[in-house]
Chains A and B, each alone.
Chain A
Amino acid sequence: MTEAALTTVVIAMIGGAIRVSTPFMFVALGEAITERSGRINLGLEGTLVLGAMVAYMMSYRSGSPWVGVLSAGGVGMLLGGMHGFICKLPRVNDVAIGIAMMSLGVGLAFFFGKPYIQPTAPRLPAIPFGDWLGLPQAWRVALDINPLFLVGLAMAACLAWGLRNTRWGLILRTTGDSAPAARAMGISVDRVRFLATAAGGVLAGIAGAFLSLYYPGSWNEGLSSGQGLMAVALVIFARWDPLKCVLAALLFGAAGALGPALQSIGVTQGYYFFNAAPYILTLCIMVVSAGSKRAMRHVPGELTMSR
């Protein structure tokens, strides 16, 4: 591989990491909130797909992509709220409900999404940082950054600070670590978890909007294959820490961008292998992080997964 080609690949991977990581980041932050409250929502994959469809539909109908983003968040809140409400009932398994919500979300998205596969909806604009800095062409493409990426970064910082330093953060952490302790503090455990699951749904819905309105930037039934699920696995790797969620998302973005980056310089061999790379990476990461005692020290005590 020549040096020029290597540079191209590196730049494409940086750009790709920024682009591809955004949905991972949103879903992971949402799931981190939910899991910090002591509940796991595996259904975010369904929320992501339905969010993507609704965002595309609303953007097409209204002409404004931001309306699409907002309605995707709204739909995500509905699905997350439904998950949160159902899990409140006794004897209901939150992992199984997650699978059910996944299939319902995907089903609804495919059902209502059929007519929107063909038309083109207005897409989200990008902020051309590369142009402002006067960088060469290759960098310009890589540094066209979507505002949602910056929103995600800001949100991760706020969350990390808020979890540690605010009353709400304390309530969320207590609920997740020990429900009896939270009850003793007079916190309504069910309400906190309901709100945390709904908030997680909002973020997953917005992640879907990013997929259909920015990158890849169109709606079709193969839009997300397991990205919501990978993000859930990523939260374990990030040890339920919002800032580490961002780092992990960037890592995943880079892994996901590897295939297209190599394709851009003419390496087409192993295309399917690079498609599978994020899944394999997730699995390896789960194997490494699940067994370690250090990771387990951070796990919210009420999480069913850890028992």
Chain B
Amino acid sequence: MILIPLFALLLSALLFSGFLMLVGKSPADFYQLVWRGGFGTSFSLQNTLQRAAPLILTALAVAIPARVGLIMIGGEGALVLSGLAAAAIALPLIGHTPAFVLLPVMALAAVWVGACWVGLAGYLRHKRGVNETISSLLLAYIAIAIMNFCVEGALRDPGSANKPSTFPIGEANMIGKIPGSDVHWGLAAGVLLAIALYVLMARTTFGFAARITGGNPRAALAQGLPVGKLIMASSMIAGACAGLAGFFEVAAVHGRANASLVAGYGFTGILVSFLARHNALAVIPVAIMFGGIAASGGLIQRRMDLPDATVLVLQGFIFVVLLVSETLYGRFKIFSGERSTDRV
């Protein structure tokens, strides 16, 4: 099963090399810089892990609904709105609330807002048959507009002139780093959540029912499975994951809510989840890989004089090739995953 995504990665790397040669750059330099900027030194590795943390969470936000057969791509919106909610709920509490109370309150607010936001797309899908892919993406645009509206209006810190932001939550209230590293606790939370959700999907009745629904919704209905509840639950879990990513971005990285939250983590998360074949455990290494590519972006820009959109092009190549390679499943014996003895 792992062969085809690996094959797709290799093929897209080759195609992207061709693309780089077309624009007159050296692919060898490029991949070397990705290695050095993303994984080569302990500094770059920590930078990579820092970026992988939100990617794990936003990828889970795609992977869980995908198991129920939904293509939910609203992670970016849930992340942004949850980050805003976390910052907003912290503001009246700062100063007279200790951090160990404040942070859980912020996390709860973020998770709840995220769950409701993506849950709304799930609800519309279930109740009204609204296409969840389009509605979740529309909700993402709406969420970004709400965030901009709030940080330029009611919640604005007058001191943030160039980049409208909320008031900072304060250095003392920020989440620290994992001891001995520069990586915040969001990574640990992401890894733990990925493992927990893997167990949920692979080992519980809920996961089993969800997978049946994803495989054949009609059969699931005929079996009397609560399809509506499964759709709602999976989209709310998805929103909660993205919301947690928003919480960590505010409480551990930026310290306030502003346009920096719109960093594309939600959109890269879609690709991560597809490449991991919507498997919660596989999400972890894939997210680290894309974290590395993102982390090396700055180095590539400076050394090779390439625009920052280079990473987007590479991601687009990988995404298209990956989906095309789905056609290979069941076509060739080496890809089928099991040795077929019945065919001669």
Chain A residues 258-307 with CB under 8 Å of chain B are 270, 272-273, 275-276, 279-280, 282-283, 286-287, 290-291, 305
For the complex, what is the distance from the CA of A279 to the CA of B133, rounded to whole Å?
14
- Check A103 against B316 for contact (C-beta < 8 Å): yes
- Check B152 against A272 for contact (C-beta < 8 Å): yes
B148 CB to nearest A CB, Å: 5
Closest chain A residue to B129, Cβ basis:
A290
The interface-forming segment of B222-230, B233-241, B279-287, B322-330 is B322-330
Which residues from chain A contact B137 at a C-beta distance below 8 Å?
A: 226, 229
Chain B residues 300-332 with CB under 8 Å of chain A are 307-310, 312-317, 319-320, 322-324, 326-327, 329-330
Which residues from chain B contact A108 at a C-beta distance below 8 Å?
A: 313, 316
State whether the Cβ of B198 lies closer than 8 Å to any Cβ in chain A. Answer: no
18 A-B pairs in the complex with CB atoms less than 8 angstroms apart: A92-B326, A92-B327, A100-B319, A103-B316, A106-B312, A107-B312, A110-B307, A113-B309, A225-B141, A226-B137, A233-B134, A236-B131, A270-B149, A272-B153, A276-B141, A276-B142, A276-B145, A290-B124
Chain B residues 140-170 with CB under 8 Å of chain A are 141-142, 145-146, 148-149, 152-153
Which residues from chain A contact B146 at a C-beta distance below 8 Å?
A: 272, 276
State whether the Cβ of B130 lies closer than 8 Å to any Cβ in chain A. Answer: yes
The interface-forming segment of A83-91, A140-148, A198-206 is A83-91
Residue of A97, A111, A275, A279 touching B323 (CB-CB under 8 A):
A97
Residue of A103, A233, A236 touching B312 (CB-CB under 8 A):
A103
Interface 1/0 per residue, A162-193 and B, CB below 8 Å: 00000000000000000000000000000000
State whether the Cβ of B267 lies closer than 8 Å to any Cβ in chain A. Answer: yes
State whether the Cβ of A105 lies closer than 8 Å to any Cβ in chain B. Answer: yes
State whether A226 and B141 are in contact (beta carbons under 8 Å apart), knowing that A93-B326, A233-B134, A276-B146 are contacts in the complex. Answer: yes
State whether A99 and B141 are in contact (beta carbons under 8 Å apart), knowing that A106-B312, A111-B310, A232-B134 are contacts in the complex. Answer: no
Lowest 10 CB-CB distances: which A-B pairs, in order? A104-B316, A107-B312, A110-B309, A276-B145, A272-B149, A100-B319, A291-B128, A89-B327, A107-B313, A107-B316
Closest chain B residue to A90, Cβ basis:
B327
State whether the Cβ of B84 lies closer than 8 Å to any Cβ in chain A. Answer: no
State whether the Cβ of B138 lies closer than 8 Å to any Cβ in chain A. Answer: yes
Binding site for A on B (CB under 8 A): 71, 73, 124, 127-131, 133-135, 137-139, 141-142, 145-146, 148-149, 152-153, 267, 270-271, 274, 307-310, 312-317, 319-320, 322-324, 326-327, 329-330
Which residues from chain A contact B315 at a C-beta distance below 8 Å?
A: 103, 107
For the complex, what is the distance from the CA of A105 to the CA of B313, rounded to whole Å?
8
Which residues from chain B contact A89 at a C-beta distance below 8 Å?
A: 324, 327
State whether the Cβ of A254 lies closer than 8 Å to any Cβ in chain B. Answer: no
- Check A111 against B312 for contact (C-beta < 8 Å): yes
- Check A92 against B142 for contact (C-beta < 8 Å): no
- Check A111 against B320 for contact (C-beta < 8 Å): no
A109 CB to nearest B CB, Å: 8
State whether A114 and B309 are in contact (beta carbons under 8 Å apart), knowing that A226-B141, A280-B142, A287-B124 are contacts in the complex. Answer: yes
Residue of B127, B130, B323 touching A96 (CB-CB under 8 A):
B323
- Check B316 against A233 for contact (C-beta < 8 Å): no
Which residues from chain B contact A90 at a C-beta distance below 8 Å?
A: 327
For the complex, what is the distance from the CA of A290 to the CA of B134, rounded to whole Å?
12
For the complex, what is the distance from the CA of A148 to the CA of B327, rounded to whole Å?
39
Which residues from chain A contact B323 at a C-beta distance below 8 Å?
A: 86, 92-93, 96-97, 100
Residue of A93, A103, A272, A305 touching B267 (CB-CB under 8 A):
A103
Q: Assuming A229-B134, A276-B141, what are 13 further A-B pairs, CB within 8 angstroms? A: A42-B134, A99-B73, A100-B323, A101-B320, A104-B317, A105-B316, A113-B309, A225-B141, A226-B137, A272-B152, A280-B142, A283-B142, A286-B134
A277 CB to nearest B CB, Å: 9
For the complex, what is the distance from the CA of A105 to the CA of B129, rounded to whole Å?
29
Q: Which of B271, B309, B314 has the most CB of A within 10 A?
A: B309
For the complex, what is the distance from the CA of A305 to the CA of B127, rounded to whole Å?
15
State whether the Cβ of A95 lies closer than 8 Å to any Cβ in chain B. Answer: yes
Residue of A97, A106, A276, A291 touching B320 (CB-CB under 8 A):
A97
Which residues from chain B contact A287 at a C-beta distance below 8 Å?
A: 124, 128, 130
Q: Which of A82, A92, A96 has the most CB of B within 10 A?
A: A96
For the complex, what is the distance from the CA of A270 to the CA of B148, rounded to whole Å?
11
State whether the Cβ of A243 lies closer than 8 Å to any Cβ in chain B. Answer: no
B61 CB to nearest A CB, Å: 14
Which residues from chain A contact B135 at a C-beta distance below 8 Å?
A: 283, 286
- Check A290 against B270 for contact (C-beta < 8 Å): no
- Check B316 against A229 for contact (C-beta < 8 Å): no
Q: Which of B131, B270, B324, B329 has the most CB of A within 10 A?
A: B131
Which residues from chain B contact A28 at a C-beta distance below 8 Å?
A: none
For the complex, what is the distance from the CA of A136 to the CA of B274, rounded to whole Å?
57
Q: Which of A86, A279, A305 has the most CB of B within 10 A?
A: A279
- Check B133 against A99 for contact (C-beta < 8 Å): yes
- Check A275 against B145 for contact (C-beta < 8 Å): yes
Which residues from chain A contact B313 at a C-beta distance below 8 Å?
A: 104, 107-108, 111
State whether the Cβ of A230 lies closer than 8 Å to any Cβ in chain B. Answer: yes
For the complex, what is the distance from the CA of A211 to the CA of B261, rounded to whole Å?
27
B324 CB to nearest A CB, Å: 6
State whether A283 and B138 are in contact (beta carbons under 8 Å apart), knowing that A107-B313, A111-B307 are contacts in the complex. Answer: yes
Which residues from chain A contact B133 at a C-beta distance below 8 Å?
A: 42, 95, 99
For the complex, what is the distance from the CA of A101 to the CA of B315, rounded to whole Å?
11
Which residues from chain A contact B317 at a C-beta distance below 8 Å?
A: 104
A105 CB to nearest B CB, Å: 7
Closest chain B residue to A45, Cβ basis:
B137
Chain A residues 212-248 with CB under 8 Å of chain B are 225-226, 229-230, 232-233, 236
